Chain A
Amino acid sequence: MAVSTASGNVIAKYLPVYFVLLGIAGLEVFLAYRNLSTSSLLAILLGLAVCGGALAAMYFMHLAQERRSLFLTLIPALIFVLLMLNMIWTDSFRLLHLRPFAH
């Protein structure tokens, strides 16, 4: 468990993170209506979502205050598994063009 903040007003303490998260959500909607290519938009939106998720994990979930060993055990393992899932993309592009890469 995270160390107690011993703060009387935790809401005020985390308000900046709250507004940044709302700002990220608003920025995502704004960018979605710009004339960006799908791949650029995907990259930008994913980048913003990762930033928002990291803020939520580090501050709301107090991961920044957890034991370092917990962070170092869980997060690299999660990132490794998520990266391994990226192996599917080549096959999805092959399906799109309905032909194997061997051709």
Chain B
Amino acid sequence: MWLFIISDAVTFGALLFGYGYLRTASPDWPTPFKFNPSILNVMLMTFVLVTSSLTMLGAVDSAKAGDKAKATRFLWSTVLLGLIFAGLHIREWFGLIDEGVRLFQNSWGSPLFGATFFSITGLHLLHVISGVVAIAVIARGFARGSLTAGHVETTGLYWHFVDLVWMFVVPLLYLLNLSR
């Protein structure tokens, strides 16, 4: 799992560097994010994702301690928080799409904004949705006894990594593009 995480970190790193390259080289880069709703939404998403990391820690610890019921409850809480995060993320996407931002165009300036924004947040959202599915499968398997605490811990590593990536996505994609 660590090798996967490091390779995924390099993938996200390359995407974020590519985004930085395009942003620097584009004089008409848009700054569309207003405090309400975008930044408020992002703050809520951050709170939800960091809280889900905490519930995942609870799941790993309970699984190691052999408390199957508690671990399963924590795992399903993490799934719920992951779904809330994905819902908020999709709401944010629809808000931007309503304002005319597409993968290859936007009404405020450089069309590369839409390409980089949807690519990076889309890859992160894909990780969140994959994580939600994986945690649901692990929760079910662990409750039935077919999976072990090791499986829960490995999935936890992945989930914390998704949280970690979000800490870089927010400042670079949102906070550097604030509407003033």
Residues of A that sit less than 8 Å from B by CB: 1-2, 4-8, 10-11, 14-15, 18, 21-22, 24-26, 28-29, 32-33, 38, 41-42, 45-46, 48-49, 52-53, 56-57, 60-61, 66, 70, 74, 77-78, 81-82, 85-86, 88-89, 91-93, 95-96
Contacts and interface: CB of A to CB of B under 8 A. Distances in A.
A86 B170 CA distance: 20
B54 A45 contact: no
Given A28-B175, A74-B2, A77-B6, A14 B57 contact: yes
Contacts of B147: none
Contact of B10 (A6, A78, A91, A93): A78
Contacts of B176: 32, 38, 41-42, 45
Contacts of B53: 18, 56, 60
Contact of B61 (A10, A48, A70): A10
Main secondary structure of the interface of B (DSSP, over half): helix
Contacts, number: 126
A18 B54 contact: yes
A7 B170 contact: no
A85 B14 contact: yes
B2 A70 contact: yes
Chain B interface residue bracket vs A: 35 or more
B121 interface: no
Nearest to A82: B13
13 contacts: A6-B64, A14-B57, A22-B47, A28-B175, A49-B172, A56-B164, A57-B160, A57-B164, A61-B160, A77-B6, A88-B17, A88-B21, A95-B25
Contact of A81 (B13, B50, B153, B163): B13
A25 B170 CA distance: 9
Given A33-B178, A61-B157, A25 B167 contact: yes
Contacts of A8: 65
B25 to A, nearest CB: 4
A78 B50 CA distance: 23
B47 to A, nearest CB: 7
A11 B52 CA distance: 11
B171 interface: yes
A29 B164 contact: no
A26 B50 CA distance: 13
A53 B122 CA distance: 20
B159 to A, nearest CB: 9
Interface in B142-171: 150, 153-154, 157, 160-161, 163-164, 167-168, 170-171
Contacts of B50: 18, 21-22, 25
